[in-house]
Chain A
């Protein structure tokens, strides 16, 4: 049972991972494109997801430096590796903070109630709110 799996894993190791990393960029850009059109998507979380692109850019640059200056892959040059990965720690933190629960967050449908409670309904305000 474990033997075929081990053989498959060994074969997997012979595959070049680079094209998958390159290919994964396209759906990620599509993700960002659609996500920014979602009005309820927390803007801070969106920033975090965008920052991930910075992490990718820094990682590529660091990998090139590791190869040219040390003739090694990025994971073998610890300061470059850690320095690049720190950008992912940052972007993930921003994503997490973007989705953290905020009590003042307007709920769908609740906005109307809150608007009524805060001020007497102005017919013009109401019209513009429903139009937008």
Chain B
């Protein structure tokens, strides 16, 4: 675990924690607004969380060449997660257009 300095570890861990909390915050936001689309957005944020954990695991094992599969996993989950985010945003837009009586903020 010494491939990363302590500050660099904290930067990584903080990012992951923030993203996890953001997922919960998006869910809470949807509950508050009583709109289901936000839960899909929260779910779409999960692949990136797993992707980040894969990357951190790789760092934990000193960026081992034998564990290079974790980097590929990270990359694949990033692509998948971003696709999911795009679908979730499109879905939010679709729901917005289905509810035209909803006033503009």
A residues with CB within 8 A of B? 9-15, 17-18, 20-21, 23-28, 30-35, 37-42, 73, 75-76, 78, 81-82, 85-86, 88-89, 92-93, 95-96, 99-101, 105-109, 111-112, 129-130, 132
Per the 8 Å Cβ criterion, residues 59-102 of B in contact with A are 59, 63, 65-69, 71-76, 78-79, 81-83, 85-86, 88-90, 92-93, 96, 99, 102
A73, A82, A89, A129: which contacts B5 (Cβ < 8 A)? A82
**Which of A26, A31, A82 has the largest count of B CB atoms less than 10 A from its CB?**
A31
Task: Assess whether B79 is in contact with A78, with CB atoms less than 8 Å apart.
Answer: no
Q: Determine the chain A residues whose CB is within 8 A of the CB of B88 once the complex forms.
A: 31
Does B1 sit at the interface, judged by CB under 8 A? no
Q: Determine the chain B residues whose CB is within 8 A of the CB of A92 once the complex forms.
A: 14-15, 18-19, 22
Q: Select from chain B the residue with minimum beta-carbon distance to A86.
A: B11
Knowing A28-B85, A89-B18, A96-B25, the reply to whether A23 touches B79 (Cβ < 8 A) is yes
Task: Assess whether B25 is in contact with A35, with CB atoms less than 8 Å apart.
Answer: no
B residues with CB within 8 A of A? 3-5, 7-8, 11-12, 14-15, 18-19, 21-22, 25-26, 28-29, 32-35, 58-59, 63, 65-69, 71-76, 78-79, 81-83, 85-86, 88-90, 92-93, 96, 99, 102-105
Q: List 28 A-B contacts (CB under 8 A).
A: A10-B69, A11-B69, A12-B69, A12-B73, A13-B66, A17-B71, A17-B72, A17-B74, A23-B79, A28-B85, A32-B89, A35-B92, A40-B35, A73-B63, A75-B58, A82-B11, A85-B11, A88-B15, A92-B15, A99-B28, A99-B29, A101-B28, A108-B34, A108-B35, A108-B102, A109-B102, A130-B103, A132-B104
